[in-house]
Amino acid sequence: MNKYKVCVYAITKNEEKFVKRWHESMKEADEIYVLDTGSTDKTVEELKKLGVKVKIKEIKPWRFDVARNLSLDLVPDDCDICVCTDLDEVFVKGWRATLEKIWEGNTRVRYNYNWSFDENNKPAVNFYTDKIHKRKGYKWTHPVHEVLKCDYEEKFVTTDEITLNHYPDHTKSRGQYLELLELSVKEDPEDDRNMHYLGREYMYYGKYNECIETLLNHLKLKTATWKDERSASMRYIARSYIGLNRIDEAKMWYQKAIKETPYLREPLVELAMLEYTNQNYQEVKNLCLKALEITGKYKSYINEPFSWDATIDDLLSVTYTNLEVYDLAYIFVKRALEKSPNNSRFLHNKKIIEAYLKN
């Protein structure tokens, strides 16, 4: 018999194609609650068929924190454990049993989150998320990239035995994010997390000067102490300088990022890619080899897939080819193909290198 009452809650809009898959992974809970914010497809109908308790409410102006709090309000007060998910997410089977085992004496859980997958369906960006929590005392804050706040001292437990996989709908627009992030920073200009996200969003939109200004502000904040995120801000500043064709300044900021986080591959690989475009092959070689010395992959949303996929091996294979060190070029092109066996360019490069080796 279960010791705790577990409830899943979520928000949704026009996600009928995800309903059955999501429900199948969530049905280990005792009850499931969904706030629909204005679907025009069959999302609500499909959820109700499966016994999900649904409330419909449009939220104007839109804010994610308001929607999350209204969905949490649907969960009854006698619930022991609240589990917040989205319909494009799927729990690995057996999560409820683990939750029962580890919950006693805790108020919140950190668990394994696979945010994206590579071409071989292996986790590309993986980190801990923490949207499982006690019923009382919690509230969502911030218009976007919303976070849970608690009005008492929390007690966390971390587990790798609960895994949530994310399979996003890439057809959905994220056009609202920029405006909401601007609002979030306006509401709380000392919040380093959303200042960082706003700068990143400006970069995505090609607003390079705004990105640089915002991320310089992020780096000045007293609360901006997490080195990984600071290093990411420096990398985004560098990318923006590349966008402005100010390459020397970009290189300077990549070097700052390397100094900030010498234990991360990301700034080394990004600088290597920049040096590669300028055909500075000795620098590419040095940076890539240094990156390969870093073998510990931290659980962090800061992780970039290009630091752990075939990119480094590809850069080295092409670099060694240009340096006419064909035996090493062959080793690295084979390593690249082990990670991406159907890549036509890698296969073509392998033939070229083999021809050099024969001569």
CA–CA separation, 201 and 228 (whole Å): 18
- Closest C-alpha among 84, 91, 50 to residue 67: 84
Domain count for the chain:
2
Does 70 lie in the same domain as 152?
Answer: yes
Mean pLDDT of 10-35: 98
Does 143 lie in the same domain as 27?
Answer: yes
Does 16 lie in the same domain as 152?
Answer: yes
Domain boundary among 282, 307, 342: 282
3-state secondary structure of 285: helix
pLDDT tens, residue by residue, 316-326: 999 999 999 99
- Is residue 127, in this structure, part of any structural domain at all? yes
> Token pair of 140, please?
């969502």
Letter string b/e over residues 227-249, b meaning 16 or more CB atoms within 10 A of that residue's CB: ebbbbbbbbbbbbbbbbeebeee
Measured in degrees and rounded to the nearest 5, phi and psi for residue 218 equal -60, -45
Burial of 153 (0-12, 13-18, 19+ CB in 10 A): exposed
Q: What is the pTM of this model?
A: 0.91
Domain boundary among 166, 193, 221: 166
Residue numbers of the domain that contains 263: 176-282
Does 249 lie in the same domain as 103?
Answer: no
Judged against a pLDDT cut of 90, whether residue 171 lies above it is answered with no
Does 182 lie in the same domain as 154?
Answer: no
164 bridge partner residues: 91, 113
Measured in degrees and rounded to the nearest 5, phi and psi for residue 24 equal -60, -35
At 163, which helix (H) or strand (E)? strand 156-166
The pLDDT value recorded for residue 124 is 87
User: Residue 356 — very low, low, confident or very high, per pLDDT cuts 50/70/90?
Assistant: very high
- Is residue 34, in this structure, part of any structural domain at all? yes
CA–CA separation, 161 and 92 (whole Å): 9
Judged against a pLDDT cut of 90, whether residue 172 lies above it is answered with no
Does 116 lie in the same domain as 43?
Answer: yes
Measured in degrees and rounded to the nearest 5, phi and psi for residue 169 equal -90, 100
User: Residue 302 — very low, low, confident or very high, per pLDDT cuts 50/70/90?
Assistant: confident
3-state secondary structure of 170: coil
Domain CATH code at residue 249: 1.25.40.10
pLDDT tens, residue by residue, 242-284: 999 999 999 999 999 999 999 999 999 999 999 999 999 999 9
Judged against a pLDDT cut of 80, whether residue 135 lies above it is answered with yes
CA–CA separation, 171 and 238 (whole Å): 29
The pLDDT value recorded for residue 144 is 96
The residue with greater pLDDT, 299 or 99, is 99
Are 214 and 237 a contacting pair, CB within 8 Å?
Answer: no
Mean pLDDT of 58-65: 96
Residues whose CB falls within 8 Å of the CB of residue 349, separated by 6 or more in sequence, listed in order: 317, 318, 321, 333
Which amino acid does the sequence have at 110? Answer: R
- Is residue 115, in this structure, part of any structural domain at all? yes
Domain CATH code at residue 95: 3.90.550.10
- Angstrom distances, CA of residue 62 to CA of 10, 74, 176, 195, 212: 16, 19, 9, 20, 27
DSSP 271: H
User: Residue 176 — very low, low, confident or very high, per pLDDT cuts 50/70/90?
Assistant: confident
The pLDDT value recorded for residue 122 is 87
Residues whose CB falls within 8 Å of the CB of residue 62, separated by 6 or more in sequence, listed in order: 37, 176, 180
- Is residue 150, in this structure, part of any structural domain at all? yes
- Is residue 207, in this structure, part of any structural domain at all? yes
Does 162 lie in the same domain as 213?
Answer: no
- Is residue 347, in this structure, part of any structural domain at all? no
User: Residue 181 — very low, low, confident or very high, per pLDDT cuts 50/70/90?
Assistant: very high
The pLDDT value recorded for residue 234 is 98
The pLDDT value recorded for residue 63 is 97
pLDDT-wise least confident of 107-116, 142-151, 154-163, 170-179:
170-179
Cα dihedral sign for 223, 229, 234, 238? negative
Does 278 lie in the same domain as 184?
Answer: yes
Does 118 lie in the same domain as 86?
Answer: yes
User: Residue 23 — very low, low, confident or very high, per pLDDT cuts 50/70/90?
Assistant: very high
Does 130 lie in the same domain as 72?
Answer: yes
Are 69 and 2 a contacting pair, CB within 8 Å?
Answer: no
- Is residue 300, in this structure, part of any structural domain at all? no
Judged against a pLDDT cut of 90, whether residue 216 lies above it is answered with yes
CA–CA separation, 25 and 30 (whole Å): 12
Q: How many Cα neighbours within 13 Å face the side chain of 14?
A: 8
Burial of 278 (0-12, 13-18, 19+ CB in 10 A): exposed
Domain boundary among 282, 311, 339: 282
Does 20 lie in the same domain as 68?
Answer: yes
- Is residue 317, in this structure, part of any structural domain at all? no
The pLDDT value recorded for residue 262 is 97
> Token pair of 311, please?
């990119």
Cis amide leading into 76 (omega within 30): no
Q: How many CB atoms sit inside 10 A of residue 162's CB?
A: 23
Does 220 lie in the same domain as 144?
Answer: no
Judged against a pLDDT cut of 80, whether residue 1 lies above it is answered with no
- Closest C-alpha among 13, 130, 147, 163 to residue 68: 147
The pLDDT value recorded for residue 121 is 87
Mean pLDDT of 183-192: 96
Looking at every residue in the chain, the average pLDDT score rounds to 96
